[in-house]
Amino acid sequence: MGTRYRHADVLVVGAGPVGLATAWEVARRGRTVHVLEQFDVGHDKGSSAGLERQWRIQYSQEQWARLALRTLPLWRELESASGRELVHATGSLWFGRTGVATSEGEIGAAAAVLDRLDVPFEWLTAADIERRFGFAGLPADHEGFHQKDGGVIDVRGTLEALTELALRAGATVTEHVTVHAVEPDGTGVTVRTSLGDHRADTVVIAAGAFADTLLGLLGRPLDLHVFRMVSAYFAPRTPAFDLPTWYAFLEPEEPGINGSFYGFGRNPWTGSGLVRAAPDTELPSTATGSSRVDAAGIERLRRTESWVRDHLPGLVPKFTGASTCLAALPADPGRQFFLGSLHGQVPYGERVVVQSAGWAFKFVPSFGRLCAELALGLDGETHTGADGALVPGAVSW
C-alpha cells in the first residue's frame, strides 16, 4: 500500500469497509481505482472500530429488510472470494417492550415485515426468553422474537478480506493522506490532498462520519447526527454459556435518552470467550474521532453492569474491557442512510458519489457495489429506488 499515482478512473475517499468494498467492485470491473485514507486501514477513530457488528434481516421498514435479503448473497460471494467466513449465523433475538422505537427499529413493526416477506421467526414471551436464552427478571409483559438467520459480522476479517481483494484486483490504497477538497469540473475531479493534487473521472466519498468536512466545502453538507457509543466485554460464568446477538428494547431512561441495551454471544472467530454488551445510548462527539472512553462512557458502562447483574446471571457483572466508536445517523429519524451522487446538487455533481451514515455494516457489499456502479455510470438493477440525487429533497437512501 502507498503507491503514488496522479490519475484514476475512480478515486475513493476513505478506506473503511464501504470505501474498500467500492474499490474492489471498481477494480474487478477492470477500471483504475485509488483509495485515500487519512489514518491507516483498520484504525479505531471512525465508525468501524471494534470486532463485531450485528447482522439482521428484521427492519421496521420493508425496503431495508429486502435490502438485507439481497445483501446476504453478496456477503457469501465475498466470503467465497476471500476464503473466510464473515457473517456467522448465531441467531438474532429482539425483545422488550413492543412500541418502544429506537434507531434500531421497533419489535412489532419488524415482526410484521418478516411476516410479509415470509422470513421465519419465533414469537417469544418473557418466560420463553428466560428459559431459552438465559435472561432473568424480565417484566412479564416483555416479549419479542428470535430470527435464526441473524448473527454477527467479523469486522476485522471484512476489512482484511476487502483490502486483499481490492489490491489483488489492481486497486491501490494510500494511508496517512488526508483529502482536503473535492472539486468536480467538466472533465473530471481534482482531489486536493496532504500529498498533493490528483485527478479522477469520478470520486466516491466513503468518509463515514467525517463526510461533511468535504461536503460542506462543496456547499452540500449532509444532515448528519454524529455521536459516540461505548461498549464492553463480560466474562461468562460457565464455558457452556452463550447468547445469540440480542437487542433489548426498553423504555427511555429519561425523555429522549434511549434506555435500551444490546449485545452478542461468544465471538465465533477469536475464541476469546468474552461476550460484548452495550448501552444503546448516544454520547456527545465532534467528528474528530477519538478512541478514548471518557467518564461519561464509563458511567454508561456501570449502568450496563447493573442491567447485566439483574438480567444476565450467566455473566460476571463486571466489564473487563471497554471501547468507544464514532457513529453517524441521518438527523432525520425517518431516513436510514445517505447514498447517491451529487447530480443536480452542485455543478458536475454526477462526478461525486457519497455514502454515509446508518447502521450500514451489514449492507457493505451492497453499498460498495452501488457506489461503484454510480461512479462508473452503470445503471445497476440493485439501485432501484436510488434516484441519483443526494441531499435535501431528493435523497436516495
Site of interaction with ligand FAD (CB under 6 A): 13-19, 36-39, 46-48, 53-54, 178-179, 206-210, 213-214, 229, 325-327, 358-362
Q: What are phi and psi of 287, to 5 degrees?
A: -85, 25
Active site residue 220: no
Q: Which one is catalytic: 280, 282, 350, 373?
A: 280
Count other Cβ atoms within 10 Å, centred on residue 61.
Answer: 14
Residues sharing a CB contact under 8 Å with residue 388, sequence separation 6 or more, in sequence order:
340, 341, 343, 344, 350, 374, 396
Q: Which one is catalytic: 24, 246, 262, 307?
A: 262
Residue whose C-alpha is closest to residue 46's, from 162, 205, 165, 210: 210
Shortest Å distance, C-beta 264 to ligand FAD: 9
Active site residue 371: no
Q: Residue 102 or 126: which CB sits closer to ligand FAD?
A: 102
Q: Residue 111 or 159: which CB sits closer to ligand FAD?
A: 159
Q: Which one is catalytic: 104, 106, 154, 212?
A: 104
Q: Identify whether the C-beta of residue 374 lies closer than 8 Å to the C-beta of residue 31.
A: no
Q: Residue 68 or 124: which CB sits closer to ligand FAD?
A: 68
Shortest Å distance, C-beta 49 to ligand FAD: 7
Residue whose C-alpha is closest to residue 272's, from 51, 86, 43, 42: 51
Q: Residue 26 or 126: which CB sits closer to ligand FAD?
A: 26
Shortest Å distance, C-beta 395 to ligand FAD: 16
Active site residue 362: yes
Alpha-carbon span 99 to 383, nearest angstrom:
31
Q: What are phi and psi of 29, to 5 degrees?
A: -90, 10
Residues sharing a CB contact under 8 Å with residue 86, sequence separation 6 or more, in sequence order:
75, 78, 79, 153, 154, 157, 158, 161
Q: Identify whether the C-beta of residue 305 lies closer than 8 Å to the C-beta of residue 316.
A: no
Q: Residue 135 or 338: which CB sits closer to ligand FAD?
A: 338
Shortest Å distance, C-beta 299 to ligand FAD: 17
Q: Which one is catalytic: 94, 359, 369, 397?
A: 359
**DSSP-derived 3-state class of residue 308:** helix
Shortest Å distance, C-beta 237 to ligand FAD: 25
Shortest Å distance, C-beta 356 to ligand FAD: 6
Alpha-carbon span 173 to 185, nearest angstrom:
24
Count other Cβ atoms within 10 Å, centred on residue 232.
Answer: 26
Q: Which one is catalytic: 31, 45, 56, 300?
A: 56
Q: Which one is catalytic: 97, 276, 351, 362?
A: 362
Tally the residues of the chain: 397
Residue whose C-alpha is closest to residue 356's, from 252, 239, 216, 245: 216
Name the closest residue to ligand FAD (Cβ). Answer: 16
Q: Residue 47 or 98: which CB sits closer to ligand FAD?
A: 47
Residue whose C-alpha is closest to residue 38's, from 166, 259, 208: 208
Among all residues, which ones are annotated catalytic? 56, 104, 262, 280, 325, 359, 362
